[in-house]
Amino acid sequence: MLRTALRNVLAHPARLAMTVLAVCLGVAFVSGTLVFADSSAAAHRAASSKNFAGIAVTVTPKSSPSATAADLRDTALDDALVQKLAGVPGVGAVRPAADGTATLAAADGSPLRTGTSRANLAAAYVPGTDGTDHRHPLVKGRAPARDDEIAVDAGTAAAGRFRIGDTVTLATTGPVMTKRLVGIVTTDDPRVSAGGTLTLFPMGTAQRLFATPGHYTSIDLSAAPGTDRAELTDRVTAVLPADRAEAVSGTAQAAQQAVLVDTLTRGYTKLPLVFAGVALFVGSFLVVNTFTMLVTRRTRDIALLRAIGASRGQVVRSVLAEAALVGLVASAAGFLLGLGVASALPHVLSTAEETLPDGPLVIGARSVVAALAVGVGVTVLAAWLPSRRAARIAPVEAMRSAGQTPPPARSRVRGAVGSALLALGAGLLVSLTGAKDASVGNLQNAMAGCALLAVAMIVLAPLLAGPVIRLTGRLTTRFGTIGHLARENALRDPRRTAATASSLMISTALVAGLAVVGHSTGQALDRQAAAGLRADYVIGTRDTTTGIDPAAVQRVAATAGVRTAAAVADSTLVVGGKVRTVTGVDPATVGAVMKLDFVSGSVKGLGPGRIAVSESVAREHGLRAGGRLPARMGRSQEFRPYTVVGVYQDNPVAHDVLGAPADVQKNSFVPGSVQRILVRTEGGAVSKAMESRLRAAVGNSPLLTVDDRARLVHEAAGAVGDLLTLMYGLLALAVVIASLGIVNTLAMSVSERTREIGVLRAIGMDRAGVRRMIRLESLTVAAFGTLLGLAGGVFCAWAVGALANGAVAQYAFTLPWGTLLLICAVSLVIGTVAAVVPARRAAALSPLEAVAEA
C-alpha cells in the first residue's frame, strides 16, 4: 500500500502541485518567522556584546524610594570615586559617563525619531589617552569641546538631514536649546540602530544636564589582562558605598540590553505568524478538496484494492501516506522559501527611522521541526476525512459507479448537524448583543460563536449550493447555452462546489468581519477624538515626566490669531482604590475650549477642595452635586474630602474629574507645570502658518506636540489603520490560496470531463466557447463563496459590536460599503483569473482524442 501511495504521487504530480504550493506558503511564513526571530535575537545579542566590549564592570548609583529629583542627580559617583576605582587591583581603565535623554528637532522643526519604541539617548563624549572616544568613533568633523557644540550618530544625521556646522534644536527635560553640530559618529548601541538617536555633549555640559558638576551617572571599568571579571566585580563592590552605588558586570548589561531591544522589536515576529495561520487555515480546505477529488477519481482503483483484500485501515493509511509525502515535499519547499522570507523581513520591516540589526541567518532545530510538523501535520489532518470516506467505499458499489451523489439520508444528517451548529453559534453571538464590556468571558464566547458559525457554514455549504447558485446563475444564463452549461456544471456536484468555495468563503468572512469592525471602530474613534473638544489646537508634551512651562501659556495667548489659550494641568486622583485622571481647568476659560454638558451643578463652583466628576465616576460612587468624596491627589500622601460641585457627561478631553488648577498643579508630579494648552483660534482657523506660530510660541521644543483636531483624529485611529492594513494583507494572501483551490479543482474537473468536452467540441462548440464556459463556472463558484462569506462576516461583526462598544465609547455598527464592494470585486476577479489555465487546457483538447478517451 505504501508503494501504491508513492506511485500515485509520482504518477500525477500536477494534480497535487497547487496543494503543495498552498501548504508551502503557510510553512514558509512559519519557518521564516522563526528563523527571523532567532536571527534577530542573535543580532541583538551580538550588537549588545560589541557595544559593551571591553567593559568588565559598570558602577551605577542606587537610590531609595523616597529620593527626590535632586538626589537622583547628585549621585555618589564623583571624581573621588573615580580615583578610588582606578586603584582597585585588576582595573585596567576607568571611563566615567554622564548619560540621559535628548530629543532633537529635524531640519523642518518636527521631532526626530520619537515614539514609544525609540530611544533618544544622550551622553558625554569621553576621549581616551589618544584623544578619541572608542565607543563613539568619529566619521566626520571633530569631537564637541564647547558648551554650544554637539555630535550625533550617522543615522540621526541622515534622518534629520544635518550637516557639519548646522544649528540643531534640541531639548532634554527643560527649555529648548540650540547647539552647533561639529561631529558625526558611529555607534554599536542596538537601541540607536533600532531607530533611536544619539546626541553627544562635552563632559561638563553633560554633567550639568544629567547629573551635577563633578558627578556622573555611571562609571565603566575595563579589566587588566589576566583579570577574572567576576573577581573584579567583587573587588569593586567591596570599595563602593553599599547604600548609594552598585557594580554590574558588562556581560550582564549586554544581556539586559539585548532583552530590552528584543522586547521592543518583538512585535515584528507576530505579524508573519498571523499570515502563516491564515495561509494554513485556508490552505487546509484546498487539501481536503484535493484529496476528496482524488479519492472520487480513484474510486475504481480503491474498489479493486478492497476486492483483492485491502482492509479499510490499509486504505486509510495509503491515503494518509500520500498526504504525508505531499506534506513532506511542501515542508521542504516551504522551509527553503522561508529562508528567503527571513532574509527579506529585516528589509521589509525596517524603515528610514528604524533599522533592524543585520546578521547571519540562524537556523535552529526549532525552525526545522516546526516546518516539518506544520506542513506534514496540516496536510495529514486535512486528508483524514477523505481517507475515511475512501475506506467506506464498498467494492461492489464502487465498481458500479465512480461518482455517485450522496444518499438522501446523509444529506439529511448534514442538514440536521449544520442547522444545530448554526443555531448554537448564532444564538451564542446574538446573546452577546446585550453585553456591556469586552471581558475575557465575553471574548471567549464571541470566538466560540464565530468558530461554530464558520463550521456550520462549511457543513451547510453543499445544501446551500443549489439554491444560491440557481439564484446567482441567472446572471450566467444571460450568456445563452454556454451560461446554462456553466451553471449546471457547478450544480453537478454540490459537495465539490462547496469544498472549492469554502476557502474563499472563510477568507471573505474573515476580511469582511474585520473590515466592518475596523470601519465602525475608526468612526467611533473619530467621534471620540473630537467629542468634548472646542479647541482648534492641542499643545501637549511627549514626555510624561515633564510639563509645559506656565509662561508658555502667556506666549501662546499673545500669538496672532489666537482667541483663547487655556492651560490644563493633569494629575491622578486615587478614589476607592482606583486611580483616576484629574484635570485642572480655569472655570473662566474652560467653556471656550471644552464641550461640557453638566447633568447637575456647574463648572463655576470649582475651587480649592471642590471638584466636578464625570457621570461614570458619579454612578460608581453614588455621587451628585453637593456630595463629598474622600480622595488622594497626585503626590499627596493624605486623603482629604472633596466637595462635588457638579456632574458632567463623560468627556475624553476632561477625563474623569475636573479640579481647580491650583490644587492640581500643587499636587502634580511636576509641581507648577501644565500638561496641555487648549487653543481656540479666531474663526477656527487651522493652517501651517498658525501651527508654525504656535510652535514658535512654545520655543519650537521637540518635546512638545502641536496637533489640530484632524491630526488628533488621525492619531486616535492609528491602531485601526494598522488593523485595516493587516486586513488587506490577509485578504491578498487568502485570495491567492483560494484561487489556487479554484485552479486545482477546475483543472481536475476538466480532466474528469474530457469526453464531455470532446462531445461539445464535436457538436460545434468552438474553443472560445469552451474557455467561456469554464470561466463562467469558476465565476459562479467564486460568487457562491463570496456571498456566503460576506453574510457570515457581517453577521459576526454585528453580533460582537457590543463588545467593541464596551471598549470604545460611541461605537456604532456601520457598513463600509466601498470596502465590501472591493472585497466582492476582488473575489470575483480572482475567480475569473483562476479559470484561465484550466480553460485554456480544456479548449486545447482535440475533439476526436477526447471522445475516444476511455
Q: What is the pLDDT of residues 191-232, one digit of tens each?
A: 787 678 999 999 999 999 998 898 999 998 988 888 888 888
Cell of 713: 483624529
Other C-beta atoms closer than 10 Å to the C-beta of 365 total 7
CA distances from 483 to 131, 471, 757 (A): 84, 13, 15
Q: Is 10 exposed, middle or buried (0-12, 13-18, 19+ CB in 10 A)?
A: exposed
Q: Is the pLDDT of residue 293 over 50?
A: yes
Residue 416 CA to residue 558 CA, distance in Å, equals 75
Q: Dump pLDDT digits (tens) for 15-31.
A: 677 778 778 877 887 88
pLDDT at site 54:
73
pLDDT at site 402:
45
CA angle 43, 44, 49 (to 5 degrees): 100
Other C-beta atoms closer than 10 Å to the C-beta of 527 total 17
Confidence grade of residue 264 (pLDDT, cut at 50, 70, 90) = low
Cell of 230: 567576576
pLDDT at site 659:
94
Q: Is the pLDDT of residue 154 over 60?
A: yes
- Which one-letter amino acid corresponds to residue 682? E
Q: Dump pLDDT digits (tens) for 82-132.
A: 999 999 999 988 999 999 989 998 876 678 887 654 578 999 999 987 888
Cell of 534: 472646542
pTM of model > 0.95: no
Residue 154 CA to residue 149 CA, distance in Å, equals 16
Pick the closest to residue 93 from 52, 127, 59, 55 (CA basis): 55
The residues facing 170 across adjacent strands are 104, 177
pLDDT at site 152:
96
Other C-beta atoms closer than 10 Å to the C-beta of 453 total 23
Q: Is the pLDDT of residue 279 over 70?
A: no
End-to-end CA distance of the chain: 26
- Report the percent of the chain where pLDDT is more than 90: 24
Contacts of 238 (CB under 8 A, 6+ apart): none
The whole-chain average pLDDT of the chain stands at 82
Q: Dump pLDDT digits (tens) for 833-847.
A: 888 888 888 888 777
Span 336-341, average pLDDT: 88
Span 26-49, average pLDDT: 76
Q: Is the pLDDT of residue 10 over 70?
A: no
Cα pseudo-dihedral 478, 484, 485, 487, rounded to 10 = 100
Q: Is the pLDDT of residue 302 over 70?
A: yes
pLDDT at site 2:
62
Tell me 353's DSSP state.
S
Q: Is the pLDDT of residue 783 over 80?
A: yes
pLDDT at site 600:
92
Any idea which of 386-400, 607-621, 641-655 has the lowest mean pLDDT?
386-400
Residue 734 CA to residue 653 CA, distance in Å, equals 41
The answer to whether 4 and 304 have CB atoms below 8 angstroms apart is: no
Q: Is the pLDDT of residue 406 over 60?
A: no
Residue 702 CA to residue 101 CA, distance in Å, equals 12
Contacts of 417 (CB under 8 A, 6+ apart): 459
Say which residue, 710 or 632, is predicted with more confidence: 632
Span 698-714, average pLDDT: 82
Pick the closest to residue 448 from 420, 428, 423, 427 (CA basis): 428
Q: Dump pLDDT digits (tens) for 719-754.
A: 555 656 666 666 666 667 777 777 777 777 777 777
pLDDT at site 45:
67
Residue 597 CA to residue 609 CA, distance in Å, equals 22
Which of the listed ranges 106-120, 305-319, 440-454, 779-793 does the model predict with the highest average pLDDT? 779-793
Span 454-478, average pLDDT: 87
pLDDT at site 403:
47
Residue 197 CA to residue 118 CA, distance in Å, equals 8
Confidence grade of residue 854 (pLDDT, cut at 50, 70, 90) = very low
pLDDT at site 643:
94
